[in-house]
C-alpha cells in the first residue's frame, strides 16, 4: 500500500499503543479461576475482543444479568492494575510523526471508557478522539467502532489506516474498508515488527 493514501490513523489500544498484555492476562486468569473455566482457553480467544463477547463464548447461555455481572467483574479486575502499563515501543515516536504531519488519529478500543482512560493516561497517551465499547452497539470484529472513529475524525474509512495486534480487530478494519497495519506477525496491508517501523514510513511518505 502507498502510505500517501492514508489521511488518518485509527489505533487499537491494548497491545498496539499500550503495552498491557500482562495486565489483561492477569485479569482473565483470575476471572477464569473465579468462574471455574480453563484460563488457557480463555486467553486464547480474549485478546482484542470485548469482555462480553469472550464471556458469551466461554459461558454460553448465561442469563443476561449474570452475563453483565461476569463481564463487569472482568473489567473490575483491570481498572487498578496499571503498575506495568506503558506505551508500546515506537508509540510515542509515531504519535509525534502524526502531529508533525497533521494527520488526525483516534483510539478505538474494546475496553470501556474508565479502563481506556486509565491505561492511556498511564502510558502518557492522550488521544484527540476515543471510541470505547460504550460508544457503539457491536464490538470487534464488527466494523462499527472503526467506522465511528473515522466519522468523528471527518475522514472516509477508506482513507484510514487501522493499526491492530489482534485478528478480530483486523477483521473489523477490513470490514470498515480501511487499510490495515498488523503487528505480532498477523497479516495486513502492512506487516509491522513494531510502531517504530510505521513511524519511519509515515515520516517519509
pLDDT tens, residue by residue, 49-108: 888 999 999 999 999 999 999 999 999 999 989 989 999 999 999 999 999 999 999 999
Q: Is 96 a catalytic residue?
A: no
Annotated domain spans of the chain: 3-20+85-204, 21-79
Phi-psi region of 124 (alpha: psi -120 to 50; beta: other; left: phi over 0): left
Q: Which residues does 76 contact at the CB level (< 8 Å), separation at least 6?
A: none
**Catalytic residue of the set 12, 112, 142, 165:** 12
Q: What pTM was computed for the model?
A: 0.89
- Choosing from 14, 81, 112, 142, which is the catalytic residue? 14
**Closest among 67, 66, 64, 36 to 54, alpha carbons compared:** 67
Q: Which CATH number fits domain 3-20+85-204: 1.20.1110.10, 3.60.110.10, 3.40.50.1000, 3.30.565.10?
A: 3.40.50.1000
14 is catalytic: yes
Amino acid at each position: 500500500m502507498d502510505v500517501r493514501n492514508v489521511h488518518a490513523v485509527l489505533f487499537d489500544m491494548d497491545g498496539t499503543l499500550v503495552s498491557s498484555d500482562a495486565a489483561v492476562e492477569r485479569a482473565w486468569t483470575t476471572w477464569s479461576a473465579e468462574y471455574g473455566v480453563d484460563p488457557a482457553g480463555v486467553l486464547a480467544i480474549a485478546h482484542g475482543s470485548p469482555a462480553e463477547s469472550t464471556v458469551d463464548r466461554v459461558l454460553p447461555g448465561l442469563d443476561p444479568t449474570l452475563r453483565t455481572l461476569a463481564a463487569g467483574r472482568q473489567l473490575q479486575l483491570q481498572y487498578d492494575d496499571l503498575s506495568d502499563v506503558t506505551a508500546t515501543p515506537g508509540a510515542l515516536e509515531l504519535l509525534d510523526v502524526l502531529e508533525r504531519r497533521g494527520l488526525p488519529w483516534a483510539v478505538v478500543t474494546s475496553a470501556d471508557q474508565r479502563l481506556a482512560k486509565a491505561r492511556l493516561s498511564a502510558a502518557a497517551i492522550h488521544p484527540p478522539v476515543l471510541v470505547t465499547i460504550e460508544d457503539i452497539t457491536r464490538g470487534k470484529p464488527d466494523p462499527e467502532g472503526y467506522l465511528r472513529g473515522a466519522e468523528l475524525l471527518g475522514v472516509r474509512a477508506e482513507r484510514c489506516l487501522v493499526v491492530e495486534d489482534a485478528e478480530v480487530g483486523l477483521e473489523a478494519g477490513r470490514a470498515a474498508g480501511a487499510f490495515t497495519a498488523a503487528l505480532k506477525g498477523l497479516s495486513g496491508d502492512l506487516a509491522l515488527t513494531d510502531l517504530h517501523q510505521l513511524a519511519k514510513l509515515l515520516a517519509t511518505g
